[in-house]
């Protein structure tokens, strides 16, 4: 990056450190923090949407839909999330390739041949001719799907509980005013449920942040991958030889995550204050009594 | 059937190194998958039972320290809880492992004694320490919350009976604290149980392929390219054991609430996701 970094062997002390920390691989390491933040930005709304649909399905008057919603919300209670992180991407990948192979290949050839999963070249996903970044993006998309699936189930649980917590009297009053079920959902139930959902959702956000290093398990080149790569001891054949520095890299990751959760907690506390305004809850009542407009 | 009994004999205790050395390589039967994955559960149970036991004791101490007025007790407890609750367990495993391998191979010299260090980098010790500290932090937060919610009337009644100090704590405060904390603590125990599957996927190596249930499940899924058998088996085992765990904690809950009229209900596990 800097001109003086051209010959790392000649460097000493602070200059060496500066050049070391701005080397090409370190830039990739810093960029991978962006991957984590990007994953959070994509997964959180996707999970919320899935959770919302799951919660609505669980409350549905149609029995099969209700069973699907309830089962979906219940799966995270009994099964470790890591199992889903390992299962969902590979199952999804094989599902897509199987569907494509039924359309694009000779359907008489079975996909499972012994211990192999074989589809013809035209059905590969992504195509083996496609460039490297398509493969990377596909891998990340599968990871996002896995995260959204697991956290959608968590969110379905939280939102289902929150919908049940909205006082019955509110909904009955709406009925008395002649609103249709859809109007009640949209105008009364959904606006009021957020204050009940917030503690659960904020916890979920914290769990989601703390689950992001599991990207490493899915083969994405994330911060854990780079911390292991860069921290491992480097012999003198490398430009910047050093001993086993993994502990420092993981310490940096620890500090990064502590910062993330700390900032999140501050924001959540402020949001909780805003959502409690005008609500028929203890926090809302306390606010009304104090006469605050915060 | 007989074949399956043979498989159980060969692989039933494979995860702790007893039985056949080599894992099956081809022609995987359903029986082999059930047996090996079940054998891996030994590790999951080992981790969850021991870390819950040690963590429980530590968490009680931490909760009291956090509630203490003395800043020399409160600050360290606050810091410990913040660090372990604010960072991912996965990173904690990696950090602990990479720190433990830096210990000198030949052991630490202490007061003329040579203390061996190699065992600390093994999963059975290293991961157990991390899991214990982690659950201690989460449980301490739960216990601290419960301690703050002990009804004032209980304490006044204790005063009226002349109970003070340790006796008041042991006979009034602590049982009430446990009673209030128990539902959330059940939740934490389940989270911890599920978190034990991370051990062999983080830094700690499975020596001689002695791993936990998920380790064997992913072994089968990798070898057969078929995730639809091995992972559902793991999921089934975990659902069963989670139900057992809830049942066990429910028994304790009933005992803690036995003096309350109408409270002898079953503990309903509501996953409030406080983790």
Q: Where are the domains of chain A?
A: 3-290
Q: Which chain A residues touch B275 with a CB distance below 8 Å?
A: 203, 207
Q: How far is CA B273 from the centre of its chain?
A: 16
Q: How confident is the model at residue A262 (pLDDT cuts 50, 70, 90)?
A: very high
Distance from C-alpha of B233 to C-alpha of B54, rounded to nearest angstrom = 30
State the angle between helix axes of B227-256 and A81-104 in degrees (0 to 180), rounded to the nearest 10: 150
What is the domain-level CATH number for residue B250?
1.10.3720.10
Any B CB within 8 A of A33 CB: no
Residue A65 to residue A59: CA distance in whole angstroms: 9
Nearest CB to B238 within list A78, A87, A112: A78
What residue has token string 């917590």?
A165
Q: Is B70 helix (H, G, I), strand (E, B) or coil?
A: coil
- Whether residue A203 and residue B273 make contact (CB cut-off 8 A), yes or no, is yes
A264 phi and psi, to 5 degrees? Answer: -60, -45
Among A10-19, A285-294, B184-193, where is mean pLDDT lowest?
A285-294
**Nearest one of A254, A231, A222 to A143, comparing CA atoms:** A222
B107/A contact by beta carbon, under 8 A:
no
Contact B52, B247 (CB under 8 A): no
Domain range for B158 is: 39-102+116-256
* A94 contact B CB<8A: yes
**Interchain pair A94, B227: CB under 8 A:** yes
- The predicted structure's pLDDT at residue B268: 54
Mean pLDDT, rounded, for A30-40: 91
Asked if the Cβ–Cβ distance from B99 to A86 is below 8 Å, we say no
Could you tell me if A180 and A76 are in contact, meaning their C-beta atoms sit under 8 angstroms apart?
Answer: no
> Does any CB of chain A come closer than 8 Å to the CB of residue B234?
yes
Distance CA B101, CA B108 (A): 13
- The confidence score (pLDDT) of residue B80 equals 96
* Length of chain B (residues): 275
Are residues A231 and B98, on separate chains, in Cβ contact within 8 Å?
Answer: yes
* Contact (CB, 8 A) for B143 and B63: yes
Nearest to A78 among B26, B89, B239 (CB): B239
User: What is the Cα–Cα distance from B67 to B148, expressed in whole angstroms?
Assistant: 8
* A80 at B interface, C-beta within 8 A: yes
β-bridge mates for residue A140, sequence order: none
Distances, alpha carbon B62 to alpha carbons A256, B35, B77, B234, in Å: 25, 40, 6, 34
Work out the angle between the directed axes of helices A246-276 and A190-211 (0-180°, nearest 10): 170
How would you write chain A as a 3-class SS string?
Answer: CCHHHHCHHHCCHHHHHHHHHCCHHHHHHHHHHHHHHHHHHHHHHHHHHHHHHHHHHHCCCCHHHHHHHHHHHHHHHHCCHHHHHHHHHHHHHHHHHHHHHHHHCCCCCCCEECCEECCCHHHCCCCCCCCHHHHHHHHHHHHHHHHHHHHHHHHHHHHHHHHHHCCHHHHHHHHHCCCCHHHHHHHHHHHHHHHHHHHHHHHHHHHHHHHHHHHHHHCCCCHHHHHHHHHCCECCCCCCCECCCHHHHHHHHHHHHHHHHHHHHHHHHHHHHHHHCCCCCHHHHHHHHHCCCC
- Yes or no, beta carbons of B225 and A117 under 8 Å apart: yes
Which residue reads 């984590």 in tokens?
A36
A3-290 maps to which CATH number?
Answer: 1.10.3720.10
What is chain A's mean pLDDT, rounded?
Answer: 86
Question: With an 8 Å Cβ cutoff, are B195 and A254 in contact?
Answer: no
Answer whether residue A273 shows pLDDT above 50: yes
B201 domain residue, yes or no:
yes
Neighbours of A274 (CB within 10 A): 10
CB contacts of A156 in chain B (<8 Å) are none
Residue from A33, A87, A198, A243 whose CB has the most chain B CBs within 10 Å, to mutate:
A87
CB contact residues (below 8 A), chain B span 26-55, against chain A:
26, 28
Taking the CA of residue A3 and the nearest CA in chain B, the distance in Å comes to 34
Overall domain count for chain B: 1
Pairing of strands B108-110, A116-117: unpaired
Give, for B122, the enclosing helix (H) or strand (E).
none
Question: Which pLDDT score is estimated for B96?
Answer: 94
Specify if B3 maps to a domain.
Answer: no
Residue A132 binned pLDDT confidence (cut-offs 50, 70, 90) = confident
- B111 inside domain: no
Question: Between the CA of residue A211 and those of A88, B53, B89, B215, B225, what are the distances in Å?
Answer: 15, 25, 9, 19, 25
Average pLDDT over residues A250-256: 95
Cross-chain residue pair A258–B83, CB shorter than 8 Å = yes
Residue of B188, B106, B82, B197 lying closest to B143 (CA atoms): B188
Q: Helices B213-224 and B227-256: crossing angle, nearest 10°? A: 160
B217 contacts in A (CB within 8 Å)? Answer: 83, 86
The token pair that represents B261 in the structure block: 């009229």
B235/A77 Cβ within 8 A:
no
| Least confident span in A44-58, A94-108, B65-79, B109-123 | B109-123
First to last CA, chain A: 48
Which among B148, B151, B249, B149 is positioned nearest to B191, based on CA atoms? B249
Is a pLDDT exceeding 60 seen at residue A294?
A: no
CB atoms within 10 A of CB A197: 25
Question: Does B107 fall in a domain?
Answer: no
Q: Which residues of A touch B218 (CB under 8 A)?
A: 86
Residue B125 lies in a domain: yes
* C-alpha to C-alpha distance for A35 and B20, rounded to whole angstroms: 43
The confidence score (pLDDT) of residue B169 equals 93
State the ipTM, two decimals.
Answer: 0.88
Kindly determine whether residue B91 and residue A257, on different chains, have CB atoms separated by under 8 Å: yes
pLDDT in tens, A159-173: 998 988 888 899 999
Q: Do A79 and B238 touch (CB under 8 A)?
A: yes
Residue B7 lies in a domain: no
**Residue A106's Cα: distance from chain center in Å?**
37
**Residue A182 confidence (pLDDT) above 50:** yes
pLDDT at residue A101, as a whole number: 85
List average pLDDT for each run of 10 residues in chain B, which is 275 residues long: 84 86 83 92 95 97 94 95 94 93 79 78 92 96 92 91 92 92 92 93 86 92 89 94 93 89 56 52
Contact indicator for A225, A249 with CB cutoff of 8 Å: no
Residue A110: exposure state from Cβ atoms within 10 A (0-12, 13-18, ≥19): exposed
Find the helix or strand (DSSP H, E) in which B108 lies.
strand B108-110
Which of 125-184 (B) contact A at CB < 8 A?
none
Q: Is the CB of A247 inside 8 Å of chain B's CB atoms?
A: yes
In a domain, B152, yes or no: yes
Torsional sign, CA A29, A31, A37, A42: negative
Highest mean pLDDT among A147-156, A227-236, B202-211: A147-156
**By percentage, how much of chain A surpasses pLDDT 70?**
96
Tokens representing residue A281 in the block:
């809850």
A116 φ, ψ (degrees, to nearest 5):
-115, 150
| Burial classification of residue A132, based on how many CB atoms lie within 10 Å of its CB (0-12 exposed, 13-18 middle, 19 or more buried) | exposed
B19 is a domain residue: no
From chain B, pick out residues whose CB is under 8 angstroms from the CB of A71: none
Distance from CA of B193 to the nearest CA of A (A): 8
The encoded tokens of residue A10 equal 């000649």
pLDDT value at residue B270: 53
- A77 in contact with chain B, both atoms CB, cutoff 8 A: yes
């Amino acid at each position: 990056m800097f001109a003086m970094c051209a010959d790392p062997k000649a460097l000493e002390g602070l200059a060496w450190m500066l050049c070391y920390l701005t080397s090409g691989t370190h830039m990739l390491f810093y960029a991978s923090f962006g991957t984590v933040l990007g994953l959070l930005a994509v997964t959180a709304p996707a999970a919320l949407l899935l959770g919302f649909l799951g919660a609505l399905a669980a409350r549905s008057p149609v029995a099969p839909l209700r069973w699907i919603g309830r089962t979906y919300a219940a799966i995270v209670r009994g099964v470790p999330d890591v199992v889903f992180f390992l299962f969902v991407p590979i199952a999804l990948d094989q599902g897509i390739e199987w569907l494509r192979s039924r359309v694009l290949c000779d359907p008489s050839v079975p996909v499972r041949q012994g211990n192999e999963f074989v589809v013809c070249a035209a059905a590969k996903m992504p195509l083996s001719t496609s460039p490297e970044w398509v493969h990377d993006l596909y891998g990340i998309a599968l990871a996002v799907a896995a995260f959204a699936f697991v956290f959608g189930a968590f969110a379905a649980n939280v939102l289902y509980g929150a919908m049940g917590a909205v006082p019955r009297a509110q909904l009955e009053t709406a009925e008395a005013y002649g609103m249709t079920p859809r109007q009640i959902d949209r105008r009364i139930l959904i606006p009021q449920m957020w204050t009940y959902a917030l503690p659960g959702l904020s916890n979920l956000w914290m769990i989601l942040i703390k689950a992001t290093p599991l990207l490493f398990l899915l083969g994405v080149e994330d911060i854990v991958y780079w911390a292991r790569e860069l921290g491992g001891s480097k012999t003198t054949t490398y430009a910047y030889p050093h001993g086993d520095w993994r502990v420092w890299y993981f310490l940096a990751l620890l500090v990064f995550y502590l910062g993330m959760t700390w900032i999140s907690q501050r924001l959540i506390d402020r949001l909780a204050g805003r959502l409690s305004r005008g609500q028929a809850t203890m926090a809302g009542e306390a606010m009304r009594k104090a006469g605050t407009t915060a | 059937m007989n074949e399956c009994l043979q498989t159980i004999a060969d692989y039933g205790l494979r995860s702790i190194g007893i039985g056949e050395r080599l894992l099956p390589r081809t022609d995987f039967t359903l029986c082999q998958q059930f047996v090996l994955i079940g054998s891996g559960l030994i590790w999951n149970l080992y981790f969850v039972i021991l870390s819950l036991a040690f963590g429980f004791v530590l968490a009680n101490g931490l909760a009291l320290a956090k509630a203490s007025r003395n800043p020399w007790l409160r600050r360290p407890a606050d810091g410990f809880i913040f660090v372990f609750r604010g960072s991912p367990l996965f990173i904690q495993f990696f950090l602990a492992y990479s720190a433990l391998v830096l210990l000198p191979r030949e052991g630490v010299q202490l007061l003329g004694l040579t203390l061996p260090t190699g065992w600390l980098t093994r999963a059975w010790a290293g991961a157990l320490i991390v899991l214990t500290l982690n659950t201690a932090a989460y449980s301490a937060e739960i216990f601290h919350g419960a301690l703050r919610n002990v009804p004032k009337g209980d304490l006044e009644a204790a005063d009226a009976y002349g109970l003070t100090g340790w006796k008041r704590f042991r006979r009034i405060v602590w049982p009430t604290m446990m009673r209030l904390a128990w539902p959330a603590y059940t939740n934490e125990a389940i989270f911890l149980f599920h978190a034990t599957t991370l051990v062999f996927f983080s830094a700690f190596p499975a020596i001689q392929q002695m791993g936990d249930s998920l380790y064997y499940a992913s072994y089968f899924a990798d070898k057969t390219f078929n995730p639809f058998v091995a992972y559902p088996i793991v999921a089934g085992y975990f659902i069963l054991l989670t139900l057992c765990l809830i049942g066990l904690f429910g028994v304790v809950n009933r005992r803690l609430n036995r003096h309350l009229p109408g409270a002898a209900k079953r503990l309903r596990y509501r996953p409030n996701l406080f983790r």
